[in-house]
């Protein structure tokens, strides 16, 4: 048992989750694989979306995986950083838009 919560070596064991629940584990990986195929969006575009979301959900495994995936697809570091900013902007916007709620409440409670 590792003495830390995250171990980079655990990423390559991800597939093993099917061992304890084969059917739904396989369904997840089938779904996952299908999602990232070429479609109305290119696999390249989806890789950048995944990288942005990886940062927003703060998943270190996903950040490793989609940085590498981006490199494999020839995505540049400038494109990757812009994707991260897109995720960060939505995340900070999501915080800030609650400021309107604060303002509403403030105004309601104030004479």
Partner 1 sequence: MATKSLKARQVELAENDTQLDILNGGIFADGELPYFKDKIAEIGQFPLRPKKLEILQINVGYMCNQVCEHCHVDAGPDRKEIMTRETMEQCLEVIRNTGAHTLDLTGGAPEMNPNFRWFVEEAAKAGIRDFIVRSNLTIMRANKKYYDLPQFFKKHRVHVVSSMPHYTRGKTDKQRGDGVFDKSIKALQELNAVGYGLPDSELKLDLVYNPSGAYLPGDQAALERDFKKALIEDFGIHFHNLFAITNLPIARFLDYLIASENYEDYMYALVDAYNPAAVANVMCTNTISVSWDGWLYDCDFNQMLGLKVASKVKHIADYNEDLLNNRNIIISQHCYGCTAGAGSSCQGTVA
Chain centroid to Cα 45, Å, comes to 13
State how far the Cα of 46 lies from the Cα of 39, in Å rounded to an integer.
9
> Under a CB-based contact definition with an 8 Å cutoff, are residues 63 and 51 in contact?
yes
Q: Which stretch binds partner 1 (CB under 8 A): 22-30, 35-43, 52-60, 87-95?
A: 35-43
* Residue placing its CB nearer to partner 1 in the complex, 6 or 103: 6
* Residue placing its CB nearer to partner 1 in the complex, 46 or 56: 46
Instruction: State the binding string over 46-75 for partner 1 (x if CB under 8 A, else -).
Output: ----------------------xx-xxxx-
Backbone angles phi, psi at 59, to 5 degrees: -100, 105
State how far the Cα of 52 lies from the Cα of 88, in Å rounded to an integer.
8
Residues lying near partner 1 in the complex (CB under 8 A): 12, 38, 42-44, 68-69, 71-74, 76
């Amino acid at each position: 048992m590792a003495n830390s919560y995250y171990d980079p070596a655990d990423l390559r064991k991800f597939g093993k989750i099917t061992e304890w629940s084969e059917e739904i584990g396989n369904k997840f990986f089938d779904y996952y694989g299908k999602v990232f195929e070429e479609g109305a969006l290119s696999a390249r575009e989806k890789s950048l979306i995944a990288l942005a979301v990886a940062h927003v959900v703060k998943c270190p495994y996903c950040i490793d995986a989609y940085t590498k995936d981006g490199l494999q697809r020839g995505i540049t570091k400038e494109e990757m950083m812009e994707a991260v900013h897109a995720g960060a902007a939505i995340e900070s916007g999501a915080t800030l838009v609650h400021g309107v709620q604060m303002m509403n409440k403030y105004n309601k409670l104030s004479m």
